[in-house]
Structure 1
Amino acid sequence: MSSEEKKLYTVSIYTENNVGLLNRISAIFQRRHINIESINTSISEIEGVSRWTIVVKVTEPQIQKIIGQIEKQVDVIRAYYHMDEETIYQECCLFKIQSDLFFEDPNIQKIISASNVRIVTVEREFFVLEKAGRRSEIESLYQQLKPFGIMQFVRSARIAITKESLNISPLLTAFQA
């Protein structure tokens, strides 16, 4: 496989939680005309440190340069990049569908049973389904439910942890001290 072939990379960034960092990080991708496929930020395993997960489709030389630029940001503690096979990742989504379909159409009930979907709520006018999994699973479920009329749909960004140890904990512990 050529290093010039574009592949999906998951970028993990550990940062201080400061205003303006989102603009600076997104500018790194914007300057290179790289579309961010998904972006998520949350607390990390260390208090006061945020963890970002960004998914991009680029070449390996591009991702190496991007990581270098990200790590130059004052608020960034450390940045890594990973291939899909090096991570365990999920996305989550919610579907809002008319309630009468749930009770009247057995096909929806079969789809729910077969898709490992969780029913979040059932109201008089609608019900809400939650699905966690790979993007391909969510897209497949979307296509199955589409003929029934999806009232609303939302999907989260990727969240991911690495299979290998990042050896970030000692660095983060030192940062916290």
Structure 2
Amino acid sequence: MEKTVTVSVFTENSIGMLNRITIIFTRRHLNIDSITASESEMKGVFRYTIVLRTTLEKVNKVIGQIEKLVDVLKAFVHEESEIVHQEIALYKIRTNTLTNGDVERVIRENHARILTVDPEFMVIEKTGHVAETQLLFESLKPFGILEFARSGRVAVTKPMKELSTYLKELEQLS
């Protein structure tokens, strides 16, 4: 049965790594819903957080292929219950919609915040899960959204050894 899974891939920082990882998903006809890349807690180790809807069987095959790539240190699959995650969304709306308190009420009700106010526009930030950022999007539609951007998932796992522990285990196997 298909479900939303989060894949964490830890790699060395090398040119073309993201492309090599995403090609593996493409070959298996798996669509990536979001992808985020950043440095990890260890110097020189980068983390890719990839979200997709698929079966555990398919994603485990992909993980096996990813771990065969040069410069990949370790890859993990996490189900929703195993992670804590957030996304950030930015909404740009016209400033002239501030004439009544409706926009401010919507912002407050959605626990969002105003980042900047310009004579022409304002930028609102909302951190949360996709459903929460989408709800604010729908609530702001009547005020005229000029731009909208949502990040990919940023996630940390609940039950996991520290990455340094896995790396030490890998060194011992070599």
1:77 aligns with 2:105: no
- SS of the aligned residue for 1:46 comes to coil
1:146 aligns with 2:153: no
Paired amino acid for 1:138: T
Match of 2:155 in 1: 160
Match of 1:61 among 57, 67, 75: 57
- SS of the aligned residue for 1:166 comes to coil
Task: Judge conservation of contact 1:16–1:77 (CA < 8 Å) in 2.
Answer: yes
**RMSD of aligned alpha carbons:** 1.6
Percent of residue pairs identical: 45
C-alpha deviation, 1:165, in angstroms: 2.1
1:36 aligns with 2:32: yes
Distance in 2 of aligned mates of 1:91 and 1:44:
17
The gaps in structure 2 that reach 5 residues or longer are: none
1:91 aligns with 2:87: yes
Correspondence 1:6-45 to 2 at 5 A: 6-45=2-41
Paired amino acid for 1:70: I
Structure 1 segments of 4 or more deviating over 6 A?
none
1:130 aligns with 2:125: yes
Q: TM-score, with normalisation over the residues of structure 1? A: 0.92
Task: Judge conservation of contact 1:18–1:75 (CA < 8 Å) in 2.
Answer: yes
- 1:104-163 Cα offsets, whole Å, 9 max, x none, are 122111101111111100111111000000000000000000111001110000000001
Distance in 2 of aligned mates of 1:78 and 1:112:
40
Task: Judge conservation of contact 1:111–1:144 (CA < 8 Å) in 2.
Answer: yes
C-alpha deviation, 1:81, in angstroms: 0.4
Q: TM-score, with normalisation over the residues of structure 2? A: 0.94
C-alpha deviation, 1:36, in angstroms: 0.3
Match of 2:113 in 1: 118
Task: Judge conservation of contact 1:46–1:173 (CA < 8 Å) in 2.
Answer: no
The gaps in structure 1 that reach 5 residues or longer are: none
1:100 aligns with 2:96: yes
Distance in 2 of aligned mates of 1:125 and 1:173:
54
> Structure 1 residues 68 and 110 mapped into 2: Cα distance closer, same or farther (>3 Å)?
same
Distance in 2 of aligned mates of 1:12 and 1:71:
11
